[in-house]
Amino acid sequence: MQHPTLRRTRFLLLAGLFVSSALAQDRRRPNVLLIVSDDQRPDTIHALGNASIDTPNLDRLVKGGAAFTRAIAPIPHCTPSRAEIMTGATTFQNKSSPFGKVIDAKMIYWGTTLRQGGYHTWYSGKWMNDGSPKTRGGYEETSALFSAGGAGGRDNLTYPTSHNGQTVTGYTGWTFKTDAGKAELEKGVGLTPITDRHIADGAIALINRRSAQPFFLHVNFTAPHDPLHLPPGYEKKYDPAAMPLPPNFLTAHPFDHGNAGQRDELMLPVPRDPLAVKGEIAAYYALISHMDEQIGRILAALEAAGQDKNTIIIFTSDHGLGLGSHGLMGKTNMYEHTIGVPLLMAGPGIPQNQRLSAQMYLRDLYPTVCELVGLPIPKTVEGKSMVPVLQGRVAQIYPEVYGYWHRAELPAPVPVQRMVRTERWKLIYYSNLDRYQLFDLANDPYERRDLSADPSHEETRAELRTRLEAWFKPRIELLAAAPAKRKS
Closest by CA position to 82, among listed 111, 58, 61 = 111
Q: Is residue 449 part of a domain?
A: no
Q: Is residue 314 part of a domain?
A: yes
Domain range spanning residue 47? 29-399
Closest by CA position to 193, among listed 219, 167, 156, 166 = 156
3-class DSSP assignment, residue 377: coil
Residue 186 burial (C-beta neighbours within 10 Å; 0-12, 13-18, 19+):
exposed
User: In this structure, how many other beta carbons lie within 10 angstroms of the beta carbon of residue 51?
Assistant: 7
Q: Is residue 486 part of a domain?
A: no
Residue 5 has pLDDT above 60, yes or no: no
Q: Is residue 174 part of a domain?
A: yes
pTM, 2 dp:
0.93
Q: Is residue 407 part of a domain?
A: no
pLDDT at 178: 97
pLDDT at 488: 34
Q: Is residue 11 part of a domain?
A: no
Tens digits of per-residue pLDDT, 19-73? 333 333 445 589 999 999 999 999 999 999 999 999 999 999 999 999 999 999 9
Tens digits of per-residue pLDDT, 372-423? 999 999 999 999 999 999 999 999 999 999 999 988 877 777 889 999 999 9
Q: What percent of the chain has pLDDT over 70?
A: 92
Q: Is residue 145 part of a domain?
A: yes
Task: Locate the DSSP E strands across 156-291.
Answer: 175-177, 215-220
Q: Is residue 310 part of a domain?
A: yes
pLDDT at 10: 47
3-class DSSP assignment, residue 74: coil
Tens digits of per-residue pLDDT, 277-291? 999 999 999 999 999
Strands 354-356 and 120-126: unpaired
Q: How many CA atoms lie within 13 A of 295 on its CB side?
A: 28
The tally of domains found in the chain comes to 1
pLDDT at 53: 98
pLDDT at 231: 97
Question: Can you give the length of the chain in residues?
Answer: 488
CATH code of the domain covering residue 303: 3.40.720.10
Mean predicted confidence (pLDDT) in 251-269: 90
Residue 476 has pLDDT above 70, yes or no: yes
